[in-house]
A and B are shown apart, each in its own frame.
Chain A
Amino acid sequence: AQTVTQSQPEMSVQEAETVTLSCTYDTSENNYYLFWYKQPPSRQMILVIRQEAYKQQNATENRFSVNFQKAAKSFSLKISDSQLGDTAMYFCAFKSYTGTASKLTFGTGTRLQVTL
């Protein structure tokens, strides 16, 4: 079974600064997907960024980018130019490559607070 670990329960960053959220995972599979989801106070889950394990290039999405280290099973999220609207819970998640309807396994989450 896959496990996803987020070792930072809470993080704080000042507006316009950069912050990195950590995530490690454990799997015996070679092909899989990794995700970062954002859950703001509204509790609506929002997909931030996705990484396919077979791609060496790190995914980027505007101010959000990842550092994917497959050998180390590490998948960190960098948020640049942090904005107040980035305040939320961030969950790292793993999805097996086998089967389009395979389930997501979530980490425990990191609460990010963006301050003025």
Chain B
Amino acid sequence: GAVVSQHPSWVICKSGTSVKIECRSLDFQATTMFWYRQFPKQSLMLMATSNEGSKATYEQGVEKDKFLINHASLTLSTLTVTSAHPEDSSFYICSANDPGLAVGAYNEQFFGPGTRLTVL
């Protein structure tokens, strides 16, 4: 149980184009999903917190107009990198909470396998 998938697993695009990455919770409903970015040999940096049916909350320094997040259903959140440039090349990881597994204030985050974006 508690499986999170991402699609695509890798994508190569030309500079200036937009790329959409999907994050799905396969066997649970996720009211909250998180989007992370990981540069090579570095840690995960939270980009935004996505709540179903409402606007995402972006971390300081993350351009909300460049990284569009939509959480239209309880099982799907999408991250769209608009007008991608080579500096946007990175590994993008999503995670999701399963409210049904919450114990008190603890609610484990389940991570997707990540998407490698390369912008030429």
Contacts and interface: CB of A to CB of B under 8 A. Distances in A.
Contacts of B91: 43
Interface in A85-106: 91, 97-101, 103-106
Given A99-B105, A100-B106, A103-B49, A43 B31 contact: no
Contacts of A30: none
A91 B105 contact: no
A104 B109 contact: yes
Interface string A12-52: 00000000000000000001010000000011110100101
Contact of A106 (B32, B41, B44, B102): B44
Contact of B43 (A42, A103, A109): A109
Interface stretch (B66-74, B77-85, B93-101): B93-101
Given A44-B113, A101-B49, A52 B106 contact: yes
Contacts of B107: 100-101
Report the interface size class on chain B.
20 to 34
B19 interface: no
A108 interface: yes
Interface of B: 31-32, 34, 38, 41-46, 49, 51, 91, 93, 95, 97, 99, 102, 105-109, 111, 113-114
20 contacts: A33-B106, A42-B113, A43-B38, A43-B93, A43-B113, A44-B113, A45-B44, A45-B111, A99-B105, A100-B97, A100-B102, A101-B49, A101-B51, A101-B107, A104-B44, A104-B46, A106-B43, A106-B45, A108-B42, A109-B42
